[in-house]
Structure 1
Amino acid sequence: MTIDILQIVGLGLVATFIVLILKEQKPSLAFLLSIFVGALIFLYLIDQIKLVMDMLIEIASSAHLNNVYVETILKIIGIAYIAEFGAQITRDAGEGALASKIELAGKVLILVLAIPIMKAVIQTIIGLISQ
């Protein structure tokens, strides 16, 4: 794990220095390099993300949780990370207003996915109170 983060930080720092140098001469190339390295880091982490997802599914099944809720929570986590990644890239391109809209869209989609879970929690609480 320590080696992984050192590699990621090293790649990020080297890319940052190159982007800073390129930004003066070829801003569009600097931006493309920044997006490419960001995507490369994300791809590098996919195996780790899969490990976490598998572990969460295993924990949920051992706790006898409904798979629908676990899948919904994983979708919510995915939306949060993807929206943040997209917003950061957009913000790096100088489009702060558009980045805010991406973040808003992510929040709305998370809220839509969370409604069934909130409904189940409320029904459980009402059931406990009425007993």
Structure 2
Amino acid sequence: MEMIQVIGLGLIATVLILVVKEQKPMFAFLIAAATGILIFLMLVGKIGSVVEVLERIAESSGIDLIYLKTVLKIIGIAYIAEFGAQVVKDAGQDSIASKIELTGKVLIMVLAIPIISIIIETVMKLMPT
């Protein structure tokens, strides 16, 4: 049912944008941005539910929550960077959008360093000396 609501909202926004774009391109952009934010806000509850389930699984399996939180931050950065880049692309600023995507990738790489180092340490412990 929620997917139908998102599609309906997207179709209504698209029709409004097409009607308004000729006369007021700025309003068309604002409608697109507001629609994107509204769709994102519709998903926040679902994202919270997924995070709660993953935290319960991590606690029951004995995994340190710092690793789960790091992975969730990485996923969050990826989604937010993609969303921001798409909004900026809608405004016609592809070069700025690519800089947003690059920043997201660098931040993901920085957050991944502790996890990568632990994986390497674990592999090194498993190897015969």
Give the equivalent residue in structure 1 for 2:80.
82
User: Does 2:112 match 1:129?
Assistant: no
Moved over 2 A (4+): none
When the two structures are superposed, what TM-score results if normalisation uses the length of structure 1?
Answer: 0.96
Identical aligned residues as a percent: 53
Residue number among 38, 41, 58 corresponding to 1:40 in the alignment: 38
SS of structure 2 residue aligned to 1:118: helix
Give the equivalent residue in structure 1 for 2:61.
63
- What is the number of equivalent residue pairs in this alignment? 129
Q: Partners of 1:111 and 1:55 in 2: how far apart?
A: 25
Residue number among 22, 25, 30 corresponding to 1:24 in the alignment: 22
Moved more, 113-122 or 47-56: 47-56
When the two structures are superposed, what TM-score results if normalisation uses the length of structure 2?
Answer: 0.97
For residues 60-93 of structure 1, the C-alpha deviation after alignment (integer angstroms, 9 at most, x for no partner) is 1111111110100010010000000000000111
User: Which one scores higher on RCO, CA 8 angstroms, separation ≥ 6?
Assistant: 2
Which runs of 5 or more structure 2 residues have no equivalent in the other structure? none
Q: Partners of 2:125 and 2:15 in 1: how far apart?
A: 59
